[in-house]
């Protein structure tokens, strides 16, 4: 593996974490701005936080009987783990395309929203089917993931600059 790839992989945990930390308050604020009817509809069909459901299903599949504290830890590992695994998409887009930082960041976030949130999460049973949710839920998720992508972009670009690397 060459140094460029190793650098990108080394930056991924920080970039994924930063992107997630930026995304979370945006999603919370957008949720507050939704209509009461939309919030009630979402809350009625939502089986739980997708990363918590992923942790529970994985523990069950492995035959693990986890304490509540360990279930919470595993759910956070799933939450941040997905973000960390997704962060290198940004580096690939910057290195393999002509996209600038903002465009590559937005593309990274949009891809995560569409693939992870809209396709994988319901397919794996970590959420209700997409049609069960109001449109505002999907819009909030999409916008939140755009913010995630921009956070990944800013963190990765700063990391490259500090390390003297170029995309």
For the stretch 57-90, pLDDT in tens is 999 999 999 899 999 999 999 999 999 999 999 9
Which residues neighbour 95 within 8 Å (Cβ) at sequence distance 6 or greater? 4, 8, 167
pTM equals: 0.94
| Distance from C-alpha of 138 to C-alpha of 152, rounded to nearest angstrom | 21
Low-confidence residues of the chain, pLDDT below 50?
none
Tokens 């972009």 belong to which residue? 153
Q: Is 19 exposed, middle or buried (0-12, 13-18, 19+ CB in 10 A)?
A: buried
Question: Residue 143: its pLDDT value, please?
Answer: 98
Q: What angle do CA 74, 47, 150 make, to 5 degrees?
A: 65
Question: Residue 2: its pLDDT value, please?
Answer: 87
The total number of structural domains in the chain stands at 1
| Distance from C-alpha of 103 to C-alpha of 144, rounded to nearest angstrom | 16
Question: Residue 123: its pLDDT value, please?
Answer: 96
One DSSP character per residue, 96-120 reads: HSS--HHHHHHHHHHHHIIIIIIII
Provide the residue count of the chain.
Answer: 167
Instruction: Give the distance from CA 41 to its chain's centroid.
Output: 23
Minimal CA–CA distance to 79: which of 139, 27, 29?
27
- The encoded tokens of residue 5 equal 């790839």
Range of the domain at 37: 3-163
- The encoded tokens of residue 150 equal 């921009």
**Which H or E run includes 100?**
none
């Amino acid at each position: 593996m060459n140094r460029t790839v190793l650098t990108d992989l080394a930056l991924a945990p920080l970039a994924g974490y930063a992107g997630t930390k930026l995304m979370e308050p945006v999603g919370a604020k957008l949720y507050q701005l939704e209509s009461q009817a939309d919030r009630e509809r979402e809350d009625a069909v939502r089986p739980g936080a997708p990363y918590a459901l992923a942790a529970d299903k994985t523990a069950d599949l492995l035959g693990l009987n986890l304490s509540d504290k360990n279930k919470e830890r595993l759910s956070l590992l799933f939450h941040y783990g997905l973000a960390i695994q997704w962060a290198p998409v940004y580096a690939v887009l910057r290195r393999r395309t002509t996209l600038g930082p903002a465009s590559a960041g937005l593309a990274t976030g949009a891809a995560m929203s569409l693939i992870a949130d809209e396709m994988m999460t319901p397919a794996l049973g970590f959420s209700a089917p997409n049609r069960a949710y109001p449109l505002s839920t999907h819009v909030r998720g999409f916008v939140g993931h755009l913010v995630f992508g921009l956070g990944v972009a800013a963190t990765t670009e700063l990391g490259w600059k500090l390390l003297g690397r170029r995309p």
